[in-house]
Every structure is written in C-alpha cells, then in structure tokens.
Amino acid sequence: MGLAWHPLLNLPYIPSSTLKGVVRAFIRSHDRKELCGIDTEQLLGNQDYKGLLIFFDAVPVKVDKALLEPDVITPHYVELEGRIDETSVKPRPIVYPTVAKGVTFAMVMAMDSKPSKNPECILTDLPNTISMALSQGLGAKTSLGYGYVKVSLIEKKVTKA
C-alpha cells in the first residue's frame, strides 16, 4: 500500500479494504478458524459474501506537528531491457510524501446483527485481535519502519437495530 489520498477529503487515508485485508491475513497466519463462536469466513466474507464485519476508511483526526513529511529514496541503477548497466551508475534522489509521526487516524468498524453465543466476547476478543493485526504494520516497507500503528480503542458499544 502506498500513500492513499482521499479524493473528497484531500487527505491521506487508510482504505477500508486495506484494514480488512490486514485483519484477514493476521487471522489466517494464526490459523484462527473462529472468533467468539463465529466462523472467521463468516466474519470477514469471501468473494461471494461480504462478511459480518464492516470496516470503514481510517482518516486523520489529529496532527502533532505536521500531517506529512518528505522522505527520500535514491535508486542508483537504471534497468534497461531486463539488464542493469553497472557502468552508468547515477544516483537519482526521489522525494515522496509520508504520513508524519504523531498523526492520529480514526477508524470505525461495525458488525451486522448476528446472534453470538457470547456477545461480551465480541466486544473484547474481536477488538484485541484487530489491534494485534494492525500493530504488525500496514503496507510496504514495514521492515524499514513504515506503516506501524499504535491502536487505541476509544469506544465500543452495541446498538440494536
């Protein structure tokens, strides 16, 4: 995931599909077949079914010093016709924007009505699982320190429709 830019808000954001994909990958990598008595495929869906969990885009809601800051990568080689010419080394700095440290994103998640054997589990285990998934990083270059987030649960509530 590069830096996604919201077309209406004119801000960087984290698409809901990215959030759902990170959670799905985390659950699969930990071989979890169910959460709170609900099958994980039923929670997250598949190609034919949207799933019970609904993720919304995460948008910035608080900025410490700056929303964006520049970063630089410097490729040295140019690949031509599938080969790298060692004799034509020419560093080319490329400046690109990154989300600055200290930016707070807000994310809303909802769950379709579904009888659960343990509704309290939904309010505890599910947010903990999502927090663990997101704390492992989002997108590319996590090995270089990009994409790491600290998750704080602000509010959880059950609303019956």
Q: Note whether 24 and 16 are within 8 A (CB).
A: no
- Residues 1, 140: Cα–Cα separation, whole Å: 6
Strand, helix or coil for residue 94: strand
User: Average pLDDT over the chain, rounded to whole?
Assistant: 84
Q: What's the confidence (pLDDT) of residue 6?
A: 95
Q: Note whether 100 and 137 are within 8 A (CB).
A: no
Whether residue 150 lies inside any domain: the answer is no
Whether residue 107 lies inside any domain: the answer is yes
Whether residue 57 lies inside any domain: the answer is yes
Decide if pLDDT at 116 tops 60.
yes
Q: What's the confidence (pLDDT) of residue 58?
A: 93
Of the candidates 26, 15, 16, 48, the one whose C-alpha atom is nearest the C-alpha of residue 126 is 26
Report residue 141's pLDDT band, with 50, 70 and 90 as the boundaries.
Answer: confident
Of the candidates 119, 111, 105, the one whose C-alpha atom is nearest the C-alpha of residue 151 is 105
- Residues 3, 147: Cα–Cα separation, whole Å: 10
Q: Note whether 75 and 92 are within 8 A (CB).
A: yes
Domain count, the chain: 1
Decide if pLDDT at 54 tops 60.
yes
Q: What's the confidence (pLDDT) of residue 59?
A: 95
What token pair was written down for 90?
């020419």
User: Each residue of 96-113: pLDDT tens digit?
Assistant: 899 998 999 998 888 876
Whether residue 93 lies inside any domain: the answer is no
pLDDT higher for 80 or 62? 62
DSSP 8-state class, residue 136: T
Across 52-56, average pLDDT: 89
Residues spanned by the domain of 132: 4-62+102-144
